[in-house]
Amino acid sequence: MFSFKLQKNCTKTRARAGEFTTPHGVIKTPVFMPVGTNSAVKMMTNDHLENTQAQIILANAYHLFLRPGHKLVEKAGGLHNWMNWHKPILTDSGGFQVFSLADLRKINDDGVSFKDPKSGSNYFINPEISMEIQNALGADIIMAFDECAPYPCDYDLTKEAMERTHKWLFRCVDAHKRQDQALFPIVQGGVYEDLREESAKVIASAEAHGYAIGGVSVGEPAEIKNKIVEFTVPFLPENKPRYLMGVGTPEDLLDGVSRGIDMFDCVMPTRNARHGSFFTSDGRKNIKIKDFEDDFSPLDKGCNCYACQNHTKAYIRHLCRQQEATGAILMTIHNIHFLVNLMREARKAILEGEFHTFYGKKMASPGR
Beta-carbon count within 10 A of 288 CB: 14
Q: Which parts of 16-93 fold into alpha helices (H)? A: 46-52, 61-66, 70-75, 79-83
Residue 92: active-site member: yes
Q: Which parts of the chain fold into alpha helices (H)? A: 46-52, 61-66, 70-75, 79-83, 95-100, 127-137, 155-175, 193-205, 222-232, 250-258, 268-274, 306-310, 313-321, 325-351, 355-363
Within 8 A by CB and 6+ apart from 221, the residues are none
70: nearest Cα among 8, 125, 14, 151: 125
Residue 174: active-site member: no
| Residue of 103, 265, 291, 294 with catalytic role | 265
Cα–Cα distance between 258 and 115 in angstroms, integer?
Answer: 40
Answer yes or no: are the C-beta atoms of 17 and 347 closer than 8 Å: yes
| Residue of 92, 140, 262, 300 with catalytic role | 92
Cα–Cα distance between 126 and 132 in angstroms, integer?
Answer: 10
Cα–Cα distance between 364 and 114 in angstroms, integer?
Answer: 45
**Concatenated DSSP letters of 242-296:** EEETT--SHHHHHHHHHTT--EEEESHHHHHHHTTEE--TT--EETTSGGGTT--
330: nearest Cα among 284, 259, 249, 273: 273
List residues with catalytic annotation.
92, 265
